[in-house]
Each structure stands twice: as C-alpha cells, then as structure tokens.
C-alpha cells in the first residue's frame, strides 16, 4: 500500500509533463518522447555520449519533435544501469532539467507488457522507461552535497581496496600451501611477522638456512616482541619434515618472484587503505551523527565513517526499515495457495552497506545489551548458524542507531537491559555446558 501511494504521488507530480525516456549505453543513448496523454511523439532517436551529443543532438531532436517546446515542461527519465547514466544525468541536472531514475529491474519485468516476451531492444527499453516514469515508478535524482559525494566515493574506493587485498592474500596463501603448508599452522598471512618471514624465505630449505640472530631481531620488530626465537625454531622443525612441493633453481626463482610481487602489492594496498581511512574518518568527524554512532561499543571510527558515507545523508531516513531495505536486508515471502516459502533477505540493495551492517552487528552483539539480548534469545530459541542470528540482530541495531541519530545523543546502558543480558548469558552458558557434556559423552561411547 505504501509503495502504491508513493507511485501515485510520483505520477501526480509529473502529470501533464512530456517525458523523455532514455536507455543509456556506452557509445550511444537511445531516447524517445512520450506526450502527457501517453502517445509517442515521432520515432526514437540515438545520440552520442559526448559533448556534441549532449549539448547539440539531444536538444535539436527534442525541438524537432515538439511543436511548442517553450510551453512544454519536460522530464528526463533515465534507466539507472551500472554507471552509464551518470554523465548524462549530472549534465542535465546542472542545466536545471528535471531528472528521474528508473530501476533496471522494473524495466526487465515490464518488457512483456509491450511485446509479450522478454526480448530486448534499445527502442523498446526507451519506451518502457518513459512509461514507467509516467506511472510513477521512479526515484528522484539524488541531490547530495559535494562533501557527501566525496565521502561516498571514499567508501567505494575503500571497498575495492579491501577486496583487492583479500584477493592478493588468497594468491599468497595458495603459493604457501604448495611450498610450505606447515607455515600457515604457525602464523597467519595477514600479520607483519608472516610477511617479513616470507620476504626472507619461502621454501622449507630456505627457512633452515636463515641466520638466527638477524631473523629473530626482525621478527621481534615486526611483531612487537610477540614472536621471536621460539617461533623460528618451531618453523625450522616443521621445515625439516615439510610435505611441500620441491622446486628446482629455475622454478624456485619464479616462485620467489611471484611471492615478492604479492607481498609488494599487499604492502602498497595497506598503505593506501591507511591513508584513505584517515581521510574518511577525518571527513566523518564533522558530521553530527558521528559521535552518536561511535558511542556504541564495538563500532570503530572507520565503521561509523563508512556507515555515514554509505547513507550519505542519514537525516533523509525517517525509519530504520528504509536503511534495511537500502542494504537489501528486508525480508520477502512468496505465498501462493497453500504454499508458503521461507522468509529470506532479498539481497536487492547496497552490498557494501550490507557487509558493513553485518560487521557492526558482529561486534555490537558482544557488548551492547540490546543487541546481545536479541542474539542470545535467537541462539537459545533456534540454535543453528551464528551468521544467520547476526543478520537477525541487524534490525535491533538499526533501531538503536536510528534513535540515537534522531535524538542526537550518545548511547547509555540501561540497567534493565543489562540485567536481562546477564540472565540470558547465564542460561546460554548452561545450555553450552550441557551440550559440551553430551558431546564428550558421545565421544567416549564411540571410543568404547
């Protein structure tokens, strides 16, 4: 009902206006003109994605087809597919034109309404985009400030760097698993100590030949004295009986070159991530909601900054479910006759925000009573996967964040929430202890 009401309001807002439906593409955009009465004005036309196409071809084609363009209000409806729409949309917006965006998913499901099948052509999609806008199935062009757009771009850049770092760690791990798999049982690759040792040696024989004094000093410096001679001796003992693949001089040289490449790229990405996060947090500190979000224990400065950057303007959200839907965490159910499907999250939303909310729920579920109570209640009632229950805690976290941002205050623990958490902790520990005893008893019975 709310969606229908919103579409009616949108349709009423642009009623009586001529709609220019545009299907964006890489080299040429396809456009069609839809009159207020729903009839098509002439044939569709294409214009190039350059300065001439935007400033000359598009206005000229519109003037040729409209009898009195100076008396006609025009709305540009553009499909928001990938990043193809952005240059044209921002150009038109800067020229003072009204721009609305159509979801590619709406275009896909509307294709059978014209030809009865899902066949796709640029002309057909341009007409569908215009008709969907006329029906009110659109969203307005976002009008964010320069500061908000800058933070959002930094959040996107951080996500790409984070994923790139994960890919290079995976490549380095695959290399170590082939040559010296026992190394991973002692050190994890995302530590400075592991990277230092792999820069010094890669094959088991090379670990045995390491100079103890210099290597131990480097390990102590990299690990802040958490690793030293004992760790090196352990690695050398494992190297004597390693099951890793042996390499000749030529192939070993290539493996060293690959390891040096992955380590160098990881070091570069780490430096870029550090610089980017510092700039992002510095920009987020100016936002009035930053202190409120960060007041929840478990939410770091970076998490709070990324949350603000993805929302861009938290003040535009009136309800926590709007943020949930933006992240693609809203539930959907398929009912038909006697069939009723399981409730699942839609995944139709901002994947970066979805990942961030999961990380925030994972941390706050350890310390914040309201979120912790929700997590323990689900574990006691349903058991099962920890991941599923953390996702189930996100609505509770969003309600808490929305209340703090709306009131502009920092979080304070309530005695009743703390008491409830302690009671649930006692019950949960008792259940876990009982499960442990049953598991141990079953193991003994199998052994007997």
Domain range list for the chain: 2-141, 150-283, 290-432
- Beta bridge partner(s), residue 339: 336
Could you give the 3-state DSSP secondary structure of residue 313? coil
Distance between start and end Cα atoms, the chain:
63
Q: Does domain 150-283 have CATH number 1.10.287.4070?
A: yes
Looking at residue 85, what DSSP letter applies? Answer: T
Query: CATH assignment of 2-141, given 3.30.470.10, 3.30.930.10, 3.30.420.40, 3.40.50.300?
Result: 3.30.420.40
- Cβ proximity of 400 and 296 under 8 Å: yes
Nearest partner of 369 among 321, 404, 416, 429, judged by Cα: 416
Looking at residue 184, what DSSP letter applies? Answer: G
Could you give the 3-state DSSP secondary structure of residue 118? coil
Whole-number pLDDT of residue 276: 97
Whole-number pLDDT of residue 1: 45
Whole-number pLDDT of residue 106: 87
Residue 379: Cβ within 10 Å count: 19
Predicted confidence (pLDDT) at residue 397 exceeds the cutoff of 80 = yes
| Lowest model confidence (mean pLDDT) among 133-147, 336-350, 392-406 | 336-350
Structure tokens at 187: 């050190």
Alpha-carbon span 375 to 389, nearest angstrom:
6
**Higher-scoring residue by pLDDT: 188, 447:** 188
- Cβ proximity of 416 and 406 under 8 Å: no
Predicted confidence (pLDDT) at residue 411 exceeds the cutoff of 90 = yes
263-271 own/partner pairs: CB under 8 Å, 24+ apart: 263/172, 263/195, 263/198, 263/199, 265/168, 266/165, 266/168, 266/169, 266/172, 266/195, 267/195, 269/161, 269/164, 269/165, 269/168, 270/165
Four-point Cα dihedral 407, 142, 163, 261, nearest 10:
-130
Sign of CA dihedral 112, 83, 75, 66: negative
Predicted confidence (pLDDT) at residue 2 exceeds the cutoff of 60 = no
Whole-number pLDDT of residue 162: 96
Q: What is the mean pLDDT of the chain?
A: 90
Whole-number pLDDT of residue 446: 75
Whole-number pLDDT of residue 389: 93
Alpha-carbon span 306 to 283, nearest angstrom:
11
Q: What share of the chain is helix, strand, coil (3-state, %, to 5)?
A: 65, 10, 25
Query: How confident is the model over 130-149, as a mean pLDDT?
Result: 88
Beta 74-79 vs 98-102: how paired, if at all? parallel
Of all residues in the chain, the percent with pLDDT exceeding 70 is: 97
- Cβ proximity of 3 and 135 under 8 Å: no
- Beta bridge partner(s), residue 40: 34
- Cβ proximity of 74 and 20 under 8 Å: yes
Predicted confidence (pLDDT) at residue 217 exceeds the cutoff of 80 = yes
Q: Name the pLDDT band for 448 (thresholds 50, 70, 90).
A: low
Predicted confidence (pLDDT) at residue 70 exceeds the cutoff of 60 = no
Looking at residue 335, what DSSP letter applies? Answer: E
Q: Name the pLDDT band for 274 (thresholds 50, 70, 90).
A: very high
Nearest partner of 376 among 444, 419, 424, judged by Cα: 424
Write out pLDDT tens, residues 186-215. 999 999 999 999 999 999 999 999 998 999
Nearest partner of 207 among 254, 168, 178, 241, judged by Cα: 241
Alpha-carbon span 412 to 95, nearest angstrom:
48
Distances (CA, A) of 44 to 14, 117, 124, 126: 21, 21, 9, 8
Query: How confident is the model over 76-94, as a mean pLDDT?
Result: 89
Write out pLDDT tens, residues 362-375. 999 999 999 999 99
- Cβ proximity of 86 and 113 under 8 Å: no
Which are the contacts of 216, defined by CB distance < 8 A and separation ≥ 6?
A: 228, 229, 232
Query: How confident is the model over 226-247, as a mean pLDDT?
Result: 92
Q: Name the pLDDT band for 66 (thresholds 50, 70, 90).
A: confident
Which are the contacts of 418, defined by CB distance < 8 A and separation ≥ 6?
A: 369
| Lowest model confidence (mean pLDDT) among 197-211, 281-295, 338-352 | 338-352
Could you give the 3-state DSSP secondary structure of residue 348? coil
- Cβ proximity of 331 and 345 under 8 Å: yes
* DSSP codes joined into one string, 11-51: HHHTTTSEEEEEE--SSEEEEEEE-TTS-B-S--EEEESSH
Query: How confident is the model over 60-78, as a mean pLDDT?
Result: 79
Whole-number pLDDT of residue 257: 95
Residue 6: Cβ within 10 Å count: 13
């Amino acid at each position: 009902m709310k969606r229908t009401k919103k579409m009616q309001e949108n349709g009423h807002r642009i009623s009586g206006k001529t709609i220019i439906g545009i299907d964006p593409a890489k080299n040429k955009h396809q456009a069609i003109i839809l009159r207020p009465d729903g009839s098509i004005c002439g044939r569709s036309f294409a214009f190039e994605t350059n300065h001439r196409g935007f400033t000359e071809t598009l206005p000229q084609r519109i003037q040729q087809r409209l009898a009195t363009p100076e008396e006609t209000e025009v709305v540009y409806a553009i499909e928001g597919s990938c990043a193809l729409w952005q240059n044209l949309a921002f150009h038109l917006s800067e020229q003072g034109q009204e721009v609305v965006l159509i979801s590619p998913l709406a275009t896909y499901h509307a294709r059978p309404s014209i030809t009865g099948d899902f066949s796709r052509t640029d002309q057909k999609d341009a007409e569908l985009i215009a008709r969907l806008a006329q029906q009110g199935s659109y969203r307005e062009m976002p009008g964010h400030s320069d500061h908000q757009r800058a933070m959002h771009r930094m959040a996107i850049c951080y996500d790409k760097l984070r994923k790139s770092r994960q890919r290079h760690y995976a490549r380095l791990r695959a290399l170590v698993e082939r040559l010296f798999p026992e190394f991973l049982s002692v050190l994890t690759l995302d530590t400075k100590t592991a990277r230092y040792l792999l820069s010094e040696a890669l094959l088991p024989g090379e670990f045995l030949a390491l100079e103890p004094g210099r290597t131990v000093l480097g390990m102590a410096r990299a690990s802040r004295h958490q690793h030293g001679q004992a760790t090196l001796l352990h690695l050398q003992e494992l190297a004597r009986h390693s099951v890793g693949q042996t390499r000749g001089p030529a192939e070993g040289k290539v493996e060293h070159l690959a390891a040096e490449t992955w380590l160098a790229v990881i070091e570069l990405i780490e430096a870029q991530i550090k610089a980017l996060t510092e700039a992002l947090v510095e920009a987020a500190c100016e936002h009035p909601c930053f202190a409120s979000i960060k007041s929840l224990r478990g939410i770091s400065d970076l998490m709070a900054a990324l949350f603000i950057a993805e929302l861009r303007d938290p003040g535009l959200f009136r309800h926590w479910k709007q943020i949930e839907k933006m992240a693609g965490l809203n539930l959907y159910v398929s009912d038909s006759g006697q069939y009723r499907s399981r409730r699942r999250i839609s995944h139709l939303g901002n994947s970066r925000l979805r990942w961030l909310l999961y990380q925030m729920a994972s941390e706050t579920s350890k310390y914040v009573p309201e979120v912790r109570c929700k997590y323990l209640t689900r574990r006691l009632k349903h058991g099962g996967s920890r991941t599923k229950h953390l996702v189930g805690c996100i609505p509770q976290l969003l309600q808490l964040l929305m209340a703090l941002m709306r009131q502009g205050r920092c979080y304070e623990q309530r005695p009743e929430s703390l008491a409830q958490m302690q009671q649930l902790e006692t019950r949960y520990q008792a259940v876990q202890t009982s499960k442990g005893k049953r598991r141990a008893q079953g193991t003994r019975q199998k052994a007997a």
